Amino acid sequence: MKKTLILAGLISLSPLLRSQPDAHYWQQAVDYKMQVDLNPENHRFTGKQNLTYYNNSPDTLKVLFYHLYFNAFQPNSMMDVRSRNLPDPDKRVGSRIEKLGKDEQGEQEVISLSLNGTACFFENHQTLLKVLLPSPILPGDTALLEMEFRGQVPVQIRRSGRDNKEGVDYTMTQWYPKMAAYDENGWHADPYVAREYYAPYGTFEVDITLPSQYRVAATGTLQNFANYWQEESREEDLILYNLIESKEKTRSWKFRAENVHDFAWAADPEYLHEAQEFNKDLMLHFFYLEDNKENWHRLPRYTQQFFKEMNQRFGRYAYPQFSVIQGGDGGMEYPMCTMLKGTGNIAGLVGVTVHEGAHNWYYGMIGSNENSYPWMDEGFTTFAEEEVLNAMAREPKANPHAGAFSNHNYLARQGAFFEPLTTPADYFSTNMAYGINSYSRGSLFLVQLRYIIGEETFNKTMLDFFKAWQFKHPKPSDMLRSMERASGLQLDWFYHNWVETTKTIDYGFKEIEGKKQGTEIVLEKLGEMPMPLRIKITLKEGIEQRYYIPTASQMGAPDEEGWQVLSPWPWTHPEYEAFLQVNFKDIAKIEIDPGGFMADVNRANNSYPQEEGE
């Protein structure tokens, strides 16, 4: 291809390529143009896809891979067999796939595919399509892939499907042949076994054709909005829309989204549609069924609070709209929207909206590899969810992560089922281990970093990390390096122990003795994982003194007002002695980690005198 065309393609992607973390960083990019026609009578669809692929890598590509996710919903698929052989299968899946009839199964088939006008040879490998290119895509080249495809929407099993338990007709997620991710580690052609996704960023222009009575919600901005929806009523700033009737049998809905890595949509003729503006540059949309109106009508004001807190704490939401859509089988994140169950109480609805909404930061705008590092998107999202829900609560908790600590402690007692965070998402031996590792221990990864480097530095670094890696694909090491640069501390020892091993933290007081000039304390390290210690002494007159004992490996300590830094503790030493110039008789209490933010698996020996019940 001519060099001028290549440069034009690269310039069009400037939002993706500017402000790279370093001069050597690169990532692939895609532009999708798709048309899909769905027939509700037989739940089958046909589609066309024009995909412009930007090879920003230094590599020559001779093959490509697409995901064909719907093929997982067929008897004897990897998803089916894996679910039937797990000791604790997801109840939503269980053995249901094995029992699907031919007209209930999912299907995704590529009919034709060409590269720059030349037909490609391709092989179907269940949930993957391997494409042998007629000519290589060179470094810096832009290629056009033209495809025709067809498929069948499965009954609702997991995330995607038709006719869910709440009566939503279509939840269309993972519905199209999707280009796999390619990075410095090569192709990520991961079969669809249970969960997690990873894909390149780009622009999606999607036309969806359905019978005209259907109401559609989706990723992206609806083009020519006024041709579809008209205002029916307004309650303060909350608008209720009604569908504009069409004389035609079918209607095409046109959506566009930039800087996203997936496209999801849902459709039902009974959807109610409400919308509310947030800060003049963001429209919040809500699509739900009449039976759930009372709670959904209350949801917008909580969603407003959520976006306010997330923008302040974790970085500004970058898209012009966000939709909360009733659909699917629980709660699931997609770019610029979420699909979730509509029933239950308002607290549950808000909680799921907050979690899935936070995913638009950690998954949506920060596109880590969820298959390899599920704890980055689920864990970071859980951390944000717990922080934000606590800020929104009438009575905030002193430690909003108590549940995550409890889950971690439970998993740590499970022996062989306690697997390290380095385990890929689909390879955990149990769903329990996946869930606690990815959600709770992933959240505690950040809680521990905040404990180590201090709250002020941590909060600033989270914002800086978001700015540096927005619309990019960071790895865990990128987060760690960000924390190191901001704090001036070495943190590889923490990553090694918390992520790559199943070692646990356990510190306690061994001896406390009064001396002539003060008090001598002897601490002991009972767990294998080292951590710095924060010690608080409360005197009988109410005065508090705080001490920070760094690990020798971190090569320093945070500069925090109100904390006196003691000599470092090498991880090789099981005990640590410190002499404090505090009269022993004046001490009311001495505590290790008084806030409860260190993941100590046994807090019974963390205070002197021991608290009742410990």
Residues lower than pLDDT 70 in the chain: 1-21, 611-614
Terminal Cα-to-Cα distance of the chain (whole angstroms):
72
Task: Give CA–CA dist 300/323, Å, rounded.
Answer: 11
pLDDT at 613: 53
Supply the angle between the helices 402-412 and 442-453 in degrees, to the nearest 10. 110
pLDDT at 20: 40
Task: Give CA–CA dist 115/266, Å, rounded.
Answer: 31
Contact 339, 262 (CB under 8 A): no
pLDDT at 465: 97
Amino acid type, 185: N
Distance of CA 2 to the CA centre of its chain: 39
pTM of the model: 0.94
Domain boundaries, the chain: 1-187, 391-500, 507-608
Place of tokens 């901001």: 486
pLDDT at 13: 38
pLDDT at 595: 94
Cβ partners under 8 Å of residue 563, min gap 6: 534, 546, 547, 548
DSSP 397-425: -S-TTHHHHHHHHHHHTSGGG---TTS-G
* HSE-up (13 A, CA, CB side) for residue 454: 19
DSSP 57-95: SSS-EEEEEEE-GGGGSSTT-HHHHHHHHSSS--TTTTT
Phi, psi of 426 (to 5 degrees): -85, -5
Contact 22, 195 (CB under 8 A): no
Which residue from 550, 544, 513 is spatially nearest to 530, judged by alpha carbons?
550
Which residue from 61, 51, 31, 13 is spatially nearest to 187, judged by alpha carbons?
61
Structure tokens that stand for 185 in this block: 């580690």
Q: Would you say how long the chain is, in residues? A: 614
Which residue from 182, 205, 191 is spatially nearest to 48, judged by alpha carbons?
205
| H or E element, residue 137 | strand 128-137
Contact 239, 205 (CB under 8 A): no
Question: Does a cis peptide bond (omega within 30 degrees of 0) precede residue 21?
Answer: no
CA dihedral of residues 72, 75, 76, 77 (deg, nearest 10): 0
Q: Residues 391-500: name the CATH superfamily.
A: Neutral Protease Domain 2 (1.10.390.10)
b/e per residue 554-563 (b: at least 16 CB within 10 A): beebbeeeeb
Amino acid type, 541: E
Structure tokens that stand for 46 in this block: 């046909």
The CA-based angle 557-559-560, given to 5 degrees, is: 115
| CATH topology agreement for domains 391-500 and 507-608 | no
b/e per residue 105-116 (b: at least 16 CB within 10 A): bbbbebeebebe
Contact 329, 383 (CB under 8 A): no
Domain 507-608 falls in which CATH fold?
Answer: Immunoglobulin-like (2.60.40)
Task: Give CA–CA dist 320/505, Å, rounded.
Answer: 44
pLDDT tens by residue, 529-542: 999 999 999 999 99
Task: Give CA–CA dist 14/530, Å, rounded.
Answer: 44
Cβ partners under 8 Å of residue 37, min gap 6: 45, 46, 47, 209, 250
b/e per residue 132-166 (b: at least 16 CB within 10 A): ebeeebeebbbbebbbebebbbbbbbbbbbbbbeb
SS3 281: coil
Structure tokens that stand for 332 in this block: 């699931």
Structure tokens that stand for 59 in this block: 């590599």
Structure tokens that stand for 287 in this block: 């699509």
Which residue from 61, 148, 153 is spatially nearest to 104, judged by alpha carbons?
153
pLDDT at 2: 35
Asked if the 1-187 domain carries CATH number 3.40.630.30, the reply is no
